Amino acid sequence: AGAVIFFYAFLLSVQLFTGRQQTAAMTAASMALNVAEVLGSTLGAWIYDSYGQRAVFWALMVASVINQAVLVGVILMVRGDGTFKPPSPTHAVALTRENMAEGCQRLRKVLQSRRMACSVILIITAAAVKASVEEVLPFHADHRWGLQPLEIGHLFAVIAVAYIGSAVAAGRIWEQLKETRVLFGAVWLAFLGFATWGVFLTATFWKSRGVLLAWLIFYGIGFGLADTPAAL
């Protein structure tokens, strides 16, 4: 479900906006999709620390119901021709048959694009690093640092703030990068790997909370400057 939402959020940004507005819309979509996962950990830690384990599941249930209601509302509002009156079934079928060949040709062209392949590789690599860190970081913070759930949630909040700032910066300078866009994303992807290494190695050499937070900030910056340009 997340992959489908991720794809269509960017697709809508491309279709509905142009120029700088398109860059801003895609940056906002990238921030919303990625930051929501990180801030969810912070919110979950706060609920667990304040109201107990049972409240976490109740909160998830309420959020799920609200999410489904919003999705149903969006489905009822969206129309294929941009109006509030849906097209007739016969017109929709004729339109689909008429544009089928053109649509397949455009899709084939997109899939054969070298820039698309580079972007997908960057996104997959950054997402794999992000998923690994999000899964391991709570256990690492608990066993190596002895942090409580709410303190672990604060670590994710630090990542989220660093990611937001770097993603906004990437969107602002995107138009000036031009031919160096892929190289820019690749360099920050390498920095992301280095920052991830620093996050988990800190406890071995420096038992300092400030050093850990600094590495988490570097990690958030690296992820924002690697993932956002790849999506753009």
Per the CB < 8 A criterion, the answer to whether 185 and 229 are in contact is yes
Nearest to 231 by CA among 18, 17, 2, 22: 22
Work out the pLDDT band at 91, boundaries 50, 70, 90. Answer: very low
Residue 132 pLDDT > 80: yes
pTM over 0.85, yes/no:
no
Counting every residue written for the chain, the total comes to 232
pLDDT of 98: 56
Per the CB < 8 A criterion, the answer to whether 2 and 123 are in contact is no
- Over residues 92-112, mean pLDDT: 61
In the numeric block, the tokens 């912070």 are attached to: 42
Least confident of 4-18, 60-74, 118-132: 4-18
92-to-79, 82, 89, 227 alpha-carbon distances in Å: 12, 13, 5, 37
Rounded distance between C-alpha atoms, residue 105 and residue 112, angstroms: 11
At CA 105, angle to CA 99 and CA 107, rounded to 5?
100
Q: Which residue has the higher pLDDT, 207 or 113?
A: 207
Q: Which residue has the higher pLDDT, 193 or 123?
A: 193
